[in-house]
């Protein structure tokens, strides 16, 4: 077991993608079940899902002996006023993170403005705009709030595949911008997670441990379905049940000397069959057995 890596969980593993949604469990159920499973560290999830009044949130976490490592925040990068919008979000979210003793701010591009996969291949002007927004927002996060910025490449966005991720790394300074590396998303978009970690591990400061089923993905491609269809069909499966080679991933992470957080994540939406807690327990047991981190 790698004692330098702290395992955590997040609301999306309970089917939480939005601040409010009738398909989602209550925030208290998420916290209670995460604790029951064995987790002591969480991400906050979308702003507004958990209580945003700091004393209330601190009390709820204290009652469960839990702490917060980050939040995973999504906002559109390609819109003209992207930096203004993200600045407003940062000024709401980051004070909470600081008060809670969190260390990271995880950010990902919005995934609803690219109706066709070709729309994700930005022209030079669009790319320069996106990079400028990332660099400026990361600087705000680091210099004004003292948090580490971790950019999360994400399916259905303008920075999803390995080529785009490497371009991002080449165009951003490591003192401000590093990666939240998601093993499932990377495999989904055609990359080999362990190889990327070997080559670019020095720019990864945060992990999302996720598994992906090539069987489901192949079916999605054969039927020409969308990424949203893939997620609703359960393309992201419990750890060890898909095609991510976690033995090789662990070896690659250990070789980089990484120490920090690895958030066990399984994208479920909605959790109509009530399997989130069962999956979360299996995922944590798998991660511990594999020596991917500790509780």
Neighbours of 36 (CB within 10 A): 12
User: pTM of the full predicted structure?
Assistant: 0.96
Distance of CA 283 to the CA centre of its chain: 16
Asked whether the predicted pLDDT for residue 180 surpasses 90, the reply is yes
Question: How is residue 38 written in tokens?
Answer: 């064995």
Interval 11-38: pLDDT, tens: 999 999 999 999 999 999 999 999 999 9
- Asked whether 208 and 183 are in contact (CB, 8 A), the reply is yes
Task: Report how far residue 38's alpha carbon sits from residue 284's, in angstroms, rounded to the nearest whole number.
Answer: 8
pLDDT at 1 (0 to 100): 64
CATH for 5-290, options being 3.20.20.150, 3.40.605.10, 1.10.8.350, 3.30.365.10:
3.20.20.150
- Asked whether 147 and 94 are in contact (CB, 8 A), the reply is yes
Element (H, E) at 6: strand 5-8
Interval 44-98: pLDDT, tens: 999 999 999 999 999 999 999 999 999 999 999 999 999 999 999 999 999 999 9
Short-list 82, 91, 67, CA closest to 8 = 67
Short-list 178, 175, 286, 174, CA closest to 240 = 286
Task: Report how far residue 63's alpha carbon sits from residue 115's, in angstroms, rounded to the nearest whole number.
Answer: 44
Reduced to 3 states (helix: H, G, I; strand: E, B; else coil), residue 260 is: strand
Short-list 129, 151, 149, CA closest to 141 = 149
Pairing of strands 177-182, 67-70: unpaired
Q: Where are the domains of the chain?
A: 5-290
């Amino acid at each position: 077991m790698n004692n330098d890596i702290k395992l955590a969980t997040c609301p999306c593993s309970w089917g939480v993608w939005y601040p409010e949604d009738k398909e989602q469990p209550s925030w208290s159920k998420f916290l209670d079940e995460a604790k029951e499973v064995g987790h002591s560290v969480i991400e906050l999830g979308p702003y507004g899902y958990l209580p945003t009044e700091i004393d209330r949130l601190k009390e709820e976490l204290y009652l469960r002996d839990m702490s917060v490592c980050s939040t995973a925040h999504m906002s559109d990068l390609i819109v003209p006023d992207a930096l203004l919008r993200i600045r407003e979000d940062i000024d709401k979210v980051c004070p909470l993170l600081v008060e809670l003793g969190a260390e990271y701010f995880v950010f990902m591009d919005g995934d609803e403005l690219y109706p066709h996969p070709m729309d994700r291949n930005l022209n030079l002007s669009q790319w320069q705009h996106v990079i400028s927004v990332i660099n400026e927002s990361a600087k705000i996060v680091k210099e004004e709030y003292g948090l580490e910025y971790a950019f999360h490449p994400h399916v259905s966005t303008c920075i999803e595949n390995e080529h785009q991720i490497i371009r991002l790394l080449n165009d951003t300074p490591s003192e401000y911008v590093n990666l939240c590396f998601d093993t499932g998303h990377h495999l989904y978009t055609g990359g080999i997670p362990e190889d990327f970690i070997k080559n670019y591990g020095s720019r990864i400061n945060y992990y999302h441990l996720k598994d992906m089923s090539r069987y489901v993905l192949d079916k999605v491609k054969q039927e020409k379905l969308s990424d949203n269809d893939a997620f609703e069909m359960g393309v992201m499966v419990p750890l060890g049940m898909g095609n991510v080679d976690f033995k090789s991933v662990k070896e690659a992470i250990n070789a980089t000397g990484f120490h920090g957080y690895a958030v066990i994540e399984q994208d479920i939406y909605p959790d109509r069959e009530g399997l989130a807690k069962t999956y979360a327990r299996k995922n944590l047991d798998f991660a511990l057995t594999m020596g991917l981190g500790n509780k």
